[in-house]
Amino acid sequence: MSATVVDFPAGVVSGSGTVERVEPLGEAVGVITDRTPFHPVDPSWPDQPADTGTLNGVPVLDCLVGATDADGVLSVGDAITPRRGDPDHTWVVVHVVAAADAPEVGQPVDLQVDAERRAALSRAHTACHVSALALNAVVKDLWRKDVARDGIGNPDFDKIALTESRMVPDQARDTYRLGKSLRKKGFDTASFRESLDAVATQVDAQIQAWIDADASVEIQTEGPHLTDMRYWCCHVPEGEYRIACGGTHVTALRELGAVTVRYEAPDDATVVAVTSVG
Ligand SMILES: [Zn+2]
């Protein structure tokens, strides 16, 4: 079995592949093909959910990452223990279908992603990154110490404080931890918490400025396979952002139309950024 060639980074939503393996997964089966347009959920950073769609016309119920060891033993999703991309394993996309719908090994299959849902997830993912970078820019003066910086030179609040990111069609929720370690790094968490509504207004304005500038977005890839490194690059007037990212995206911010952000503070040490498209 070979590492799966993935076409989703280029925005592809349909294609064909040859079945290389069919593996029982509970009451369903996992179907592994040599290549696929399907985006699987990443078990180590499950920000963008799995694509849905069809495989030879039958529903793809879920789409997961799989890894096989040197003996050919396959582990799937949360059961994977090696770190992402470990070279001693073969990394594959696992399409989950009902057992009764299982294709034969060696059979060519038609793969169709639900394109409308994919587009809404791509918008959510791009908006998520843009919202985070706008937040970096808006809170840049709340740092008292020198810390890692983002692509255009602002202190990288997002990278330092982000603990979880979750997307649904046209919306993303980013969870930031405002704990002791962030204060030790020199961030004024108290001022931030007191000004969340004003921050949201400024973040919205920054995002709108980048949309008005029609900043372009591209995915740079280091190879065609699932675990090859990929980067989200956004060309804003101030410079270029480049973030390691395994998801799918729009090609220009104009495709987002409008983006609004609000911040929730469920407890003293947590702020959740809710970014909505449209
Ligand atoms: Zn991403």
**Is the Cβ–Cβ distance between 3 and 84 less than 8 Å?**
no
The candidate with the shortest Cα–Cα distance to 227, out of 30, 106, 111, 85, is: 85
Residue 240: band (very low, low, confident or very high) from pLDDT cuts 50, 70, 90: very high
Cα 269 to Cα 40: distance, rounded to the nearest angstrom: 31
CA of 210 to the centre of ligand 1 (A): 18
CA of 244 to the centre of ligand 1 (A): 7
CA of 248 to the centre of ligand 1 (A): 8
Tens digits of per-residue pLDDT, 114-138? 999 999 999 999 999 999 999 999 9
Percent of the chain predicted with pLDDT > 90? 98
Pick the CATH number of 5-113 from 3.40.190.10, 2.30.40.10, 2.40.30.130, 3.40.630.10: 2.40.30.130
User: To which H or E segment does residue 1 belong?
Assistant: none
Long-range CB contact pairs, 213-221, < 8 A, 24+:
213/237, 213/253, 214/252, 214/253, 214/254, 215/252, 215/253, 216/251, 216/252, 216/253, 217/126, 217/249, 217/250, 217/251, 217/252, 217/253, 218/251, 219/9, 219/10, 219/245, 219/249, 221/9
CA of 98 to the centre of ligand 1 (A): 30
Cα 195 to Cα 206: distance, rounded to the nearest angstrom: 16
Pick the CATH number of 117-277 from 3.30.980.10, 3.20.20.210, 1.10.10.10, 3.40.50.2000: 3.30.980.10
CA of 246 to the centre of ligand 1 (A): 6
CA of 129 to the centre of ligand 1 (A): 7
Place of tokens 């582990």: 75
Residue 262: band (very low, low, confident or very high) from pLDDT cuts 50, 70, 90: very high
Q: Is the pTM of this model over 0.85?
A: yes
Query: 211 phi and psi, to 5 degrees?
Result: -65, -45
Cα 78 to Cα 196: distance, rounded to the nearest angstrom: 35
CA of 195 to the centre of ligand 1 (A): 27
Percent of the chain predicted with pLDDT > 70? 100
Q: What angle do CA 263, 41, 132 make, to 5 degrees?
A: 25
Average pLDDT over residues 215-225: 97
Inform me whether the pLDDT recorded for 216 exceeds 90.
yes
- The domains of the chain are located at 5-113, 117-277
| 28, 63, 222, 217: CA torsion to nearest 10 | 170
